[in-house]
Structure 1
Amino acid sequence: MAVEVKELLEAGVHFGHLTRKWDPNMAPYVYMERNGIHIINLYKTAAKIEEANAALAKIAASGRKILFVATKKQAKDIVAEKASAINMPYITERWPGGMLTNFVTIRKAVKKMASIDRMKKDGTFNTLSKKERLQVDRLRAKLEKNLGSISDMTRLPGALFVIDIKREHIAIKEAQKLNIPIFAMVDTNSDPRQVDYVIPANDDASKSIDKILTHVTAAVAGGLAERKAEKEAAAEGASKTKTAPTKKVAAEEEE
């Protein structure tokens, strides 16, 4: 899916922050200043999207998960919808401290959620007192809110995709500690040096966020489709290998 500068312009991807709030390290991605606001160079944005997409498709094709992180109001629903559509984990509520650096503990919390579900299925839940059931339900709701979207993530992600690196600085730091590649929409008020794959873009407007994520998730979906095709081809090859000797034996028997 080719990235057109015109569509980025229409989505308002080029609007940066006030010039007095800028981070000088974003200078290479700034096109000009207009009415006290920095304007992002959309040709560079388009090129960076293509670069990030190629890397994300490769990660998805390798079978690793990409964790999407966005807790700001205008991004939450978009991220939840787009990430769910490609079956990728996401965090749209408060970032759970130690989500990556203390992943074992986070997995325990997810398992707790699964064990509560099992209790409800096998009837154990109904043997509890009314007060205990209420406490368990509250715990389940809290875990679902914070960790529900990562319940299928059994190991550390292959990459992070972040919207607003200033807001999600804890997530960025944890990923850096573990050398997990960071992809991000980076606005003019942030330091792009913290990110491995920078997409210079307006990270405040929902239209801009939606447009970038549409391209990004399409690339991830492409990587997943490639993985599926490779698996099917391998399975087909394996079944042909199994049937080939049978034909040979049959021919020998005829002789």
Structure 2
Amino acid sequence: MQELENRLSEVQQRIGQACRRVGRNPDEVNVVAVTKYVDLDKTRQVLDAGCLHIGESRVQDAIPKWQELHNRGTWHMIGHLQRNKAKEVVGRFSYLHSLESIELAKEIERRAKSIQATMKCFIQVNISGEETKFGISRKELEDFTIEMANFSSIEVVGLMTMAPHIENREEIRSVFRELKECQHRLQKKQIPHVPMTELSMGMSQDFEIAIEEGATWIRLGSILMGE
């Protein structure tokens, strides 16, 4: 528990330093503690340590944890979500970071309407163009986002991306910078149900670069939990 608290403290210090480098307020940056590789007890410790947001990516692993701990913190589904699993997520998780198809949006809309709920979603964008990554392309993004105006039970709060796992920091930075530019272009459209105020980008290996380029949500696993 002490080690976890120390790790969280160090992360907060690094967030503060990254924000100071670009003149941002650290309060603008939210940490999602990625607990997909740890068990229920460790997830409980994460909440005890003061993490307010929990990130899970596999529905079958996430639901037992949610059932025990859902009255604590805010829960985020951060991984690829199959349409047939949407029923398990809507009404339980406050945020989905991986909206990438109209078919999934339709299922979320149907489930959310049935319980009079609204799902906060990030559109996942494959900025790097890697075939191994999910997400829609930059070319598809504007039309896809405009289509979201037809879904009254989905609130598109922003965009999400993942940078490639490479050593070239400037190439990583260019991916995050491009997502920020996409956000600006879409904000100008003033699309209904699409406030587009948030950017979910940055993980354990690159979160400081993401913050410098405008991230408002960072998803941290190994740097908090250990390898």
What is the TM-score when the length of structure 1 is the normalising length? Answer: 0.27
Structure whose residues are more often helix by fraction: 1
What is the TM-score when the length of structure 2 is the normalising length? Answer: 0.29
Structure with greater Cα Rg: 1
Greater RCO, 1 or 2 (C-alpha within 8 Å, sep 6+): 1
